[in-house]
Structure formats: C-alpha cells, structure tokens
Chain A
Amino acid sequence: MAKTLGPVKRKFSPWTDPSAVPFIRFENITKRFGNFVAVDNLTLDIYEREFFSLLGPSGCGKTTLMRMLAGFEEPTEGRILLQGKDIRGVPPYRRPTNMMFQSYALFPHMTVEKNVAFGLEQDKLAKGEIAARVEEMLKLVKLEDFAKRKPNQLSGGQRQRVALARSLAKRPQVLLLDEPLGALDKKLREETQFELMDIQTNLGLTFLIVTHDQEEAMTVSDRIAVMDKGVIVQVATPAEIYEAPNSRYVADFIGDINILEGTVMATDSGLGAPGAIRIECDGIQVAVDQECQAATGDKVAFAVRPEKVRISPDQPADTSINAVHGEVWDIGYLGDFSVFIVKLDDGRVVRAAQANVSRLVDRPITFGDMVWLTWPLDAGLVLTR
C-alpha cells in the first residue's frame, strides 16, 4: 500500500520563545478527592498548535488534569487559563474544547452520521452545512461508506475513527484525547499515530493527549510532560526526555536504561573535556561530560542507555574508566536489536544493546562469554534526583 506522506514538518518550538503567549495555562492547580491529592500544585503551559502529551502511570493525575480542562472537574485550587481567560465555572458544554474518550463513548442509538453531527446540531447550524461538515469529517477518517451504520456494526478501529471524527467536527480550539489508541492492536496503533499527526498538522489544532504508552507519546508529541503522583517531573521534547532525563524516575520510565548509584569524586576530571564529572560507583570508575549541579561528595546516579554501551570480547586500551568486565548472562534477540545482559564480576547487571547490522545467525558473542563493556564520555548521564 502506497502511503501518502503529509507535508514536511517544520521546526516548531514556541516554548523556547520567551515572548510567546501560552494557549493553555494551568496555574498552581491542585485537585483533591477527599484526602487523596490527584494533582498537586501543578503549573504547565501549552502553546497553540502544539501536540502535547501527558505521560505517566495510572493514577498519576494525568486524566484528572485533562478532565479539568474539559470542565468535568473543577480544580480545588489554582486556575486554568485558556487564551488568557480564566475558565473556572464554565460548564463543559460551553467550553471550546472537545474530547475523544477512552471508551470512545459513541452513542449506540445513533448512526455514525448522527454521532458526528451531534455536536454540530447543538450549535444550531443549518442542515446543509451540517451534512457537508459530516461528510468532510467522515472523508477525513476514511469512513464515507459507513455513514448509515450503528456503532455496534463497526470494528474497534472504525469506532475509534468515528470518535475522532465526532470530536473534530466542531473544530475545537483544543482536542483532548484520553488514551485514544489503547484498545487498538499494535500495528493499527502505529498507523493511527501517524494519521493523528497528519490531521493535527493539517487542521492546525492544539492536541492534548493522555497516555501511559511512552512509545505513543514519543511518536506523536511536540512535547511530553512526564507525571508522577500529581506532579510534573519533566516537560521536554521527546528527544530531550530520552537523552537528557532530569531524574531517575524519568530515565527509568522512558525506555531502557542502566542505572548505577555512586558518589561524585571530582567535578573536573582532567580527561580532556573540561566539565567532565568523575563518579565512583562501588569500585567502578565512570566519567560523564555533562554540565551538572553536582558537587564533589554528592550521592548521584550514573545512567547509560544500553544502545550506547559497546560490547566486545577484547580488553580496551584504558580499563580505568567507563569500562566494566563481566559474563554474558542472557541474550534477548529482538530482530533489529540484540540485548546482552552482562553480569559483572561483583554481581551487578549491565545491559548492552547492539544493532544487528548483518544477517549473521552465528553471533560472535554468546552465552557465558567474558566481555568488556565500554562507553564514551558523552554517552552517560548524571542524575541528581
């Protein structure tokens, strides 16, 4: 199937522009349900035309935050500004936001067409205009042939697209998506992610998506907010979140990572890179070229992603730094990658991933081999939180 690609993405980063006015602003928002604090003094800016993700495990407050923007919950403290206006007390049916529900919430007693038209009818648009808009929406989600069907006559993927069409029909200023792809299988989910991105770019809308799926968040978003227990741990672009997580929590939540606890020995190790930090992790000497607030003697974590660790049976020239020795304990063959789980001499475990660039079935390194793991100065990270 030939796939038509959307327009080439422009670089988009209003959050780096200090004069940019946020489209949505959560200001010191706290939400309590009885004694439970769902959202804890949270402040967040989202910009126009941004595709923004709220990412976190279930119960971290991400859905509550979205429901407050939709108007289904009111914040206990703080205020929400939409285009500079406080929207406290505005009921959901008067907010310029539309939501795509996790369960899709399609009206079972109405046809696909009627479902999509429902929001437009509330605005008392002319009949012809409604019909035209419904047709346009169904075309957008490629469901023109299913207009007369009822929701229970559709497959899961089709229902998801009806829900999307319905929530887009009113051209909301902000589209809220609550775990929109959770019920789809992996292949369909990936396709839909790209469709969502195309639609967002073409319509020029602001999308706010809630998800616990880190891959989904990484694929679709301009920026991601990683949440934990009602607070935002980090807000950054997918690349920054992955390459420069600001805490053990974010590093561990996004992707796979090796974390070694240690102590800062020197903040200027004299290893060529002026800012490099030297850390001792229970007998392993590591160094990181990173600007960092840590001072000598601080307890920190050293982290390095498996794909940045080189695995080799040969001893490197310099074994004093960024090099560990161990035995291959297990190999995970993932097709594109192989993950080597290496048990160090002192029992700790470090993972190294290697791209399978050739079609060799007999790998040079196998179970039980003694290997060296090394990584360059700019591969690792110092995590102070």
Chain B
Amino acid sequence: MKSSRFDVTVLTLGFAFLYIPIVILIVYSFNASRLVTVWGGFSLQWYQTMWSNQGLMDAAWVTARVGVLSASVGTVLGTMAALALVRYGRFPGRMIFSGMIYAPLVMPEVITGLSMLLLFVALGVDRGFWTVVIAHTTFTMCYVAIVVQSRLLTFDRSLEEAALDLGCPPVKTFFRITLPLIFPAVIAGWMLAFTLSLDDLVIASFTTGPGATTLPIKIYSQVRLGVTPEINAICTILIALVTIGVIIASISTKRTELRRLQDEHLALRTPA
C-alpha cells in the first residue's frame, strides 16, 4: 500500500512533537556557550564539569542506590503479592488485598508522598535515604505485582503439579520450576520498578531529608536557578542509558522469538 501524503505529514508531526524537545536537549549539551539558547560551537566541556560537580554526582549516586534497593525489595514483595492473588483463590480479604495492591497505581503521587511523610513524622523517623527507599518500595511493588500477575495467569499449573508428583516439595518446586519460568516477567518488573524510582520527583521530595537528594530533586532545584548546560549533559546520559536498555530488551525478545521459530522447524522436521 502506498502511503498518502497525509499519513506522512501526520507521522512527521507526531514524531516531531515527541522528539524535538529531547533532540534540542541533547544538542545543547554539546554547546560550547554557557547560554542555553545560543549555539557557540561543539564542545564536551559540560560533561567534564558535570563529573567534577560534586553535588550532582552525589545525587546520581543516591538515586542509583535508591533505585536498586527499592526495585529489588519491591520485586520480591510484588512477586509474593502476585502469587498470593493468583494462587490462593478466595482467601478472606482477597478483594481488599487486590484493591490495596492496585490503589497506588491510581493514587495521585502527591497524596502517596504526603501520606508517607505523615507516617514518618508520626513514627518520629528521621527522613533521609531509607525513608525514600521505603516510599519507593511501596509504590513500585504494585507495578511488579501487576506484571508478574499477568504472567502467572497464563502459567500452566500442571508443571508445578508434575514437579510435586515427581517428589519435589512445594518450596523447592517454586525455585526449580515456577521462578525460572516467570523470571522474564520478574526481571521486567524489576526494570519497571527501577525506572519508576529513577525518575520519581514528587514522592522523593516529600520523603527525603538532608543528605539524601536524588537526581530528579537536584535537577529540579538547579533548573529553578536557571538551566545550565551541565543539566543538559546529565540528562543526555540518562537518555542514553534508557535508550540502551530499551534496545537490549527489544533485541533479546527478537532473539527468543527467532529461537522459538527455529525450534518449531526442528520439531517439524524430525519424525514423530
């Protein structure tokens, strides 16, 4: 089918709307001029100053640690929640439990952040690194639960029954059979949780304290004093990281698909 001029126009406008701001950000991160809106030639100097900007680097390190910790804890909890929801049929309070798992998805971040803040104040906990980790764990675990739950719904339970039948106790069956098979979903959940934690500004700013400034908070506070090319540089690096992640993910799914097709051909070619 020939694409009409209309289609091409719409597509171009759509992509332009999505990507021009990002392209501008990347281009200006290589700007030699200090002024954000004036092009002064190509330069890598902002990447150098970024490395020596201690505040920015500290924030990046805090964000990375918060992301890894909260995503990992959230993945364990979320996977357990998904198992409970899918496997244990109708236990008392199932509806409430499943509602409570999904609530953070639709809850405005401001409310989640504020309620966390009130909780920490009420408990007399000093806000800082660990309070951000706890807050991020609570809101990322529901995303993990959803991703893992959808995988578990299509999981053939007779595989677990077969393992039990062959003499494998339930806990071992989970680690030998169930977990390896749902692992891609668990990893996807972890990556989603990590990304959500990485770019969260609202909840982090409610629950953080002195000495635990995350990157989004740092960027936001610096931008209020004026956009510097350094910010452009660190944002470009973030974009690069995310892009590489997406590319790796799509290549690996392509590969698995390709392998599945090859396996099917192999099965067809061999006599029964």
Tell me the bound Cα distance from A123 to B172 in angstroms.
Answer: 13
Check if B270 sits within 8 Å of A122, measured CB to CB.
no
Tell me the bound Cα distance from A106 to B263 in angstroms.
Answer: 15
Beta-carbon nearest neighbor of B272 in chain A = A157
Q: Tell yes or no: A107 within 8 A of B by CB.
A: yes
Contacts of B268 in A (CB 8 A): 155
Partner of A93, one of B168, B260, B270: B168
Beta-carbon nearest neighbor of B177 in chain A = A107
Q: Tell yes or no: B92 within 8 A of A by CB.
A: no
Classify the interface of chain B: helix, strand, loop or mixed: helix
The total of chain A residues at the interface (CB under 8 A) is 37
Given contacts A91-B164, A95-B165, A107-B159, 15 further A-B contacts (CB under 8 A): A70-B165, A72-B164, A93-B165, A93-B166, A97-B165, A99-B161, A101-B158, A101-B162, A103-B158, A106-B162, A107-B177, A122-B166, A154-B267, A156-B272, A170-B167
Beta-carbon nearest neighbor of A178 in chain B = B158
**Chain B nearest Cβ from A367, distance in angstroms:** 41
Q: Tell yes or no: A153 within 8 A of B by CB.
A: yes
Interface residues on B, range: 20 to 34
Q: Tell yes or no: B201 within 8 A of A by CB.
A: no
Contact residues, B125-157 vs A (CB, 8 A): 156
**Chain A nearest Cβ from B55, distance in angstroms:** 47
Q: Tell yes or no: B14 within 8 A of A by CB.
A: no
**Chain B nearest Cβ from A85, distance in angstroms:** 18
Check if A99 sits within 8 Å of B162, measured CB to CB.
yes
Check if B181 sits within 8 Å of A105, measured CB to CB.
no
Q: Tell yes or no: B169 within 8 A of A by CB.
A: yes
Check if B164 sits within 8 Å of A92, measured CB to CB.
yes
Check if B166 sits within 8 Å of A98, measured CB to CB.
yes
Q: Tell yes or no: A248 within 8 A of B by CB.
A: no
Given contacts A109-B181, A153-B267, A188-B272, contact A166 B166 (CB under 8 A): yes
Which residues of A come within 8 Å of B, CB atoms? 70-72, 91-95, 97-99, 101-103, 105-109, 118-119, 122-123, 146, 149-150, 152-158, 166-167, 170, 188
Tell me the bound Cα distance from A98 to B260 in angstroms.
Answer: 30
**Chain A nearest Cβ from B111, distance in angstroms:** 40
Tell me the bound Cα distance from A278 to B167 in angstroms.
Answer: 59
Partner of A118, one of B168, B264, B271: B168
- Pick the most buried of A71, A92, A109, A156: most chain B CB atoms within 10 A of its CB: A92
Contact residues, B172-213 vs A (CB, 8 A): 177, 180-181
Beta-carbon nearest neighbor of A154 in chain B = B267
Contacts of B167 in A (CB 8 A): 93-94, 119, 122-123, 170
